Chains A and B, each alone.
Chain A
Amino acid sequence: MRKKQKDWAKDMAKQRITRLFELADSEFKTHPGRSDRYVRLARRIGMRYRMRLPPELKRKICKHCHAYLVQGATARTRLRGAYAATTCLVCGEQMRRPY
């Protein structure tokens, strides 16, 4: 793959990932199943073009079951000393993040 073409593809992949997360956000209230599907599509695009998920979007999905997390509905965050623990209410697993 030529450099220019590669950059173009990566840029396109990034846009599509952000677009899918916007859609997941707007669809969550009416169709929560669709948000999980959009997260899955976004992750696949990221893997195919070796794009990392931006850190602010990475926080919105469960590390274990890849569900779309919304605070209060599918996630609970508690501060525990040196780290913030986010519990996914779909699978019950925890994610820790220093703060």
Chain B
Amino acid sequence: MKLTPRNIIHHEIIGLDTKVVDSTNKSLIGIEGRIVDESKNIIVVDDGQERKIPKSCSSFSFTLSSINSKRYLPLKIKVDGRLLLSQPENRIQTKFKKKFRK
């Protein structure tokens, strides 16, 4: 089972390209780069310098490099940061909360 939009919140997000599309802190919106580290509350994005972005108040748009043959799967997927809010090793079995769905 590969990385798909369906299982992205359970999969490894380090190494993916991302863009901050929404945040309560407006100066973080628009930061674009590769994720280099992850902790319980923070995603570290490398766009020339290492930027720490809190998960709890931001939304991320992930760019998936490889995609299956099914055409309807989007290449870019927007994920609410609150869905990723746990330690990386605990995230495999987090439940998908519908209230964060957009």
Contact = CB atoms under 8 A, between A and B. Distances in A.
The answer to whether A and B belong to the same complex is: yes
Contact of A45 (B1, B2, B15, B89): B89
Interface of B: 1-2, 7, 10-12, 14-15, 36-38, 88-90, 92-93
A44 interface: yes
Interface residues of A, number: 22
A31 B88 CA distance: 20
Nearest to A41: B88
Contacts of A45: 88-89, 92
Contact of B11 (A12, A27, A44): A12
A34 B11 contact: no
B40 to A, nearest CB: 12
Contacts, number: 45
B15 A15 contact: no
A9 interface: yes
Contacts of A20: 12, 14
Contact of B14 (A15, A23, A48): A23
Interface in A25-41: 27, 31, 34, 37-38, 41
B8 to A, nearest CB: 11
Contacts of A23: 14-15
A19 B12 contact: yes
